[in-house]
Amino acid sequence: MLSEMDFASKIWILVLLLILGRWITELALEWLNRRHVLARAKVMPATLKAIVDEATYVRSVEYTLAKGRFRGFELTYSTILLLLVLFSGVLPTGFDAYSRMFGGSIWAMAGFLFLIGVALSMTALPLDWYAQFQLEQRFGFNTSTQKTWWTDRLKGLVLSLILGYPLLALLLFLVNWAGKRWWLWAWGALMVFQLLMTLLAPILILPLFNKFTPLPETSLRERLFRLANRTRFRAASIQVMDGSRRSRHSNAFFTGLGGFRKIVLFDTLIQQLTEPELEAVLAHEIGHYKKRHIPKMLVFSAAGSLLGFYCLALLAQQPWFYRTFGFQPGNTAPAFLLFALLAGVITFWFSPLAYIWSRRYEYQADRFAAEAMGQALPLIGALRKLNEKNLSNLTPHPLYSGFYYSHPTLLEREAALAAVVAGKG
């Protein structure tokens, strides 16, 4: 029969293999995607010639390859950092020193978790900075200034302190207060917090980072409100967000719930698309709402969170879980930290299932948009321009898109829209 020490050493090896397995798999996916893209870059695929000009296609290939190289470095960097954090002994040593200095109260333990989170986020700053001011800059996407970029990080840190720190303290309080069923209470508290953020973020948080102005009284505004009325989509307003302040990438979304729901268009999107194409993009977003994709995804996310808290509660009861990484059992805070560090190692392998579901929803929203518009051409035109302006990878390897793409590729979406039109005919 295995001793606790032997069992902990086997778990140590298992965790190491899982981390290295994910790293190797992700590097392999980057390699596969690079080969796949390069093989098609030699001669532009005939299916793309009617969609994008050759110069833009070459540029999109260069952008894809550059992001892939950076992604490979980022994966290696984050993997080495994770291994050092988990196996060097720095966490238990730091925890012991922190506990001697600040004690073991709920607020102190929440502070430890918060500080570790901040420290780990700081290690990612150099890569984030490079991605914005080197990679994105090289391909003409970056419009942010150093001041804006650093101010955003400072605002994010302050918001984490104001919102995240008390939430951590609440979760740790529930561990002590609710007994063995604490994970149910913690899950409920997190769900309430997320609902409040959904309601308050458009009003209190998003305006801290971007400027939102009502869409002027133009033919576009009239067109979009007619679409909303035609599809029975209630929206308090249509607003324009100054996305161009940070990037030339574009997007559209709606935010808030009930009577507080707002349609938001990036100013870059308005600059890039015609009015019928903008209407089609909004029809796609309304399609997500009418098909109830958002509540379904929220239920899926809530179920995943519930399972996560249940697994955390089970692990928090196991002395070997703490000792594997150098902690002494008796305080739940290290279990929260270890679970947060390791969760991605497991969930990575389930990402293709989640993305299959997500891509299915995108097809449904596309179909809704085509039917709401009475034709598919405006949406096809919008998708072509968005892929062109964003230098999207038009020929990803199927395995790569399966692991990382929440949306179907442009060619896949066009084929599905063509089938919708053919079916109507």
Question: For residue 317, what is the DSSP state?
Answer: T
Encoded tokens for 311: 């697994």
User: Is the whole model's pTM more than 0.85, yes or no?
Assistant: yes
User: For residue 33, how many C-alpha atoms fall within 13 Å in the half-sphere facing its CB?
Assistant: 29
Contacts of 286 (CB under 8 A, 6+ apart): 227, 228, 231, 233, 368, 369, 372
Question: For residue 348, what is the DSSP state?
Answer: G
Burial 367-379 (b: 16+ CB within 10 A, else e): bbbbebbebbebb
CA distances from 192 to 187, 312, 336, 391 (A): 9, 19, 19, 39
Contacts of 128 (CB under 8 A, 6+ apart): none
Q: Is 303 helix (H, G, I), strand (E, B) or coil?
A: helix
Instruction: Show pLDDT as tens, one digit a residue, over the chain (425 residues).
Output: 456 667 777 888 999 999 999 999 999 999 999 999 998 888 888 888 888 888 899 999 999 999 999 999 999 999 999 999 999 999 999 999 999 999 999 999 999 999 999 999 999 999 999 999 999 999 999 999 999 999 999 999 999 999 999 999 999 999 999 988 999 999 999 999 998 988 888 888 889 998 989 888 889 989 988 998 898 888 767 889 898 889 888 877 777 666 567 788 888 989 999 999 999 999 999 999 899 998 899 899 999 999 999 999 999 999 999 999 999 998 999 999 999 999 999 999 999 999 999 999 999 999 999 999 999 999 999 999 999 999 999 999 999 999 999 999 999 999 999 888 777 64
Question: For residue 252, what is the DSSP state?
Answer: E
Question: For residue 391, what is the DSSP state?
Answer: T
Catalytic residue among 279, 285, 362, 414: 285
How many other CB atoms are there within 10 angstroms of residue 2's CB atom? 10
State the Cα–Cα distance between residues 16 and 1, nearest whole angstrom. 23
Q: What share of the chain is helix, strand, coil (3-state, %, to 5)?
A: 80, 5, 20
Residue with tokens 């291994």: 83
Catalytic residue among 30, 136, 362, 366: 366
Query: Does 285 qualify as catalytic in the annotation?
Result: yes
